[in-house]
A and B are shown apart, each in its own frame.
Chain A
Amino acid sequence: MNAYRLARGVRLQRKPDGASVLLVPEGIVELNASAASALALLDGTRDAPAIARILGESYEADPSELASDVRALLDDFAGRGFVTT
């Protein structure tokens, strides 16, 4: 099982306008609402399917589509060094 967490020095933050951003070394990554919700669930114990399952409880979405979206997000951010297993 690949349990995910934010990489060292990476912070998920809500701005005063309500939008969420990922703060990374010398950079700001704008997030859409679903990406922010997924990243908020990274706690070092949940893997991608677990995160997709929890999101499925609050989002009207096809479960397999949601699972592949979460997987794609985590792969992308892992490749950029923002999340880690």
Chain B
Amino acid sequence: MSVAAPQSLLCELTYRCNLQCPYCYNPLDLGNPREELDLTTWLRVVDEAAALGILQFGLSGGEPTLRRSDLIAIVQRATERGGYTNLITQGTFLDAEYLDALLAAGLAHVQISIQAPQQELAFAIAGTDVHERKLAALRLVASRDVALTLNCVLHRLNHDALPEVIAFAEREGIRRLELANVQFYGWAYANRGALIPTREQVARAADVVAAARERLRGRMDITYVLPDYFEELPKPCMHGWAQVALTVTPDGRILPCPAAAAITTLSFPNVREWSLGEAWTDSDAFVAYRGTGWMPEPCRSCDFRERDFGGCRCQAFLLTGNAGATDPACAKSPDHHLVVALRDGDPSAVPLVPRRALATQG
């Protein structure tokens, strides 16, 4: 069976970060910065990706700008190979000189995240007082010839500030706004009991977003990522396992999605031993859940199996210990009660664990 080529590559350049957001999807084990791939290896990975026909490159982390000069070289190589580069950053290290060097290398799109529209709440969530620095970075990027997206991850602690997030974006002249409900992987999974929004918050947000889209039509494009545990059908995660996208982690593991390292029952190929193309086509981990052949009931005979692909393998593993189970987010899953229990839990009983701040000097 021939396998369609991937379209995008997410390069996680480092797990280091100076913020401590409890909703971070990075793994609890942030690894050893000394084992990060060197620049030569990253450039080879970019070359291999381009040879596979990949056009979209995401540069993320951790905080990717901590790989300061390496990031510029990677952007340049991806651009030379015909790629489109997206920098996913929290913005605290973006000054004019550095940004302009990235733009000269070909950077096409910058996504900057904020934790909240107000300094106090942003400080409380990030564990570090960087709101003003982010604001400066946002305005700097907006002044340059590059696409800009403002991102805010929504969870119980900031969901009520959603109207203010939209007003903030409007004040700053943002054209692209991504409002992403927290997805429960890594640190966010560890903190799921405290971060999961209430039913009331979720219902209110749907109305707020619909009204804002109507009012700002033609001026601001708003993407709204639905909350993980509130729909009756699972999300069509990654358009199916190993269908369109690849991730390479700071230490070189090749994953079908950024959260997949959580699946300890799979052994993932590493760029130190595998080419991207071989890993995509032949590695056991990529083949394991590709297509529909792996599906158990109720997925196997479900009319939606080609629409939601059985949901998310990582979510299935985290909640049930079996990555080959139907995603418990689906109302038809025999494990759906796990999601319902979480949705109806008492958040005040759950302590919040800040993400470990990892030394920013590698």
Report A15 CB to chain B, min CB distance, Å. Answer: 8
Among A7, A13, A28, A80, contact of B147 (Cβ-Cβ < 8 Å): A7
Name A23's closest neighbour in chain B (CB-CB): B84
- Would you call A13 and B175 a contact (CB within 8 A)? no
Task: Determine if B275 is an interface residue (Cβ-Cβ < 8 Å).
Answer: no
- Would you call A28 and B221 a contact (CB within 8 A)? no
Name A79's closest neighbour in chain B (CB-CB): B218
- Would you call B147 and A8 a contact (CB within 8 A)? yes
- Would you call B218 and A21 a contact (CB within 8 A)? no
What interface size band does chain A fall in?
Answer: 10 to 19
Chain A's interface: helix, strand, loop or mixed, by majority?
loop
**Chain A neighbourhood of B7, CB < 8 A:** 28
Name A26's closest neighbour in chain B (CB-CB): B86
Report A81 CB to chain B, min CB distance, Å. Answer: 5
- Would you call A11 and B108 a contact (CB within 8 A)? yes
Chain B's interface: helix, strand, loop or mixed, by majority?
strand
- Would you call A23 and B56 a contact (CB within 8 A)? yes
Q: How far is the CA of A15 from the CA of B51 in the complex (A)?
A: 12
* A window 37-51: CB within 8 A of B: none
What interface size band does chain B fall in?
Answer: 20 to 34
Task: Determine if B158 is an interface residue (Cβ-Cβ < 8 Å).
Answer: no
Most buried by B among A26, A27, A80: A26
Interface membership of chain A positions 7-23, coded 1 if the CB is closer than 8 angstroms to chain B and 0 otherwise: 11111010110000101
Given contacts A25-B86, A81-B176, contact A8 B146 (CB under 8 A): yes
- Would you call B147 and A25 a contact (CB within 8 A)? yes
**Chain A neighbourhood of B221, CB < 8 A:** 80-81
Report A27 CB to chain B, min CB distance, Å. Answer: 7
**Chain A neighbourhood of B111, CB < 8 A:** 25
The 5 A-B residue pairs with the shortest CB-CB distance, nearest first, are A9-B147, A23-B84, A25-B109, A9-B109, A25-B147
**Chain A residues with a Cβ under 8 A of chain B:** 7-11, 13, 15-16, 21, 23-28, 79-81
7 more A-B residue pairs beyond the given contacts A15-B53, A28-B55, with a C-beta to C-beta distance below 8 A: A9-B147, A13-B55, A13-B84, A23-B55, A25-B149, A27-B56, A81-B175
**Chain B residues with a Cβ under 8 A of chain A:** 7-8, 53, 55-56, 58, 82, 84, 86, 108-109, 111, 145-149, 175-176, 218, 221
7 contacts between A and B (CB under 8 A): A7-B147, A8-B146, A11-B84, A16-B53, A25-B108, A26-B8, A80-B221
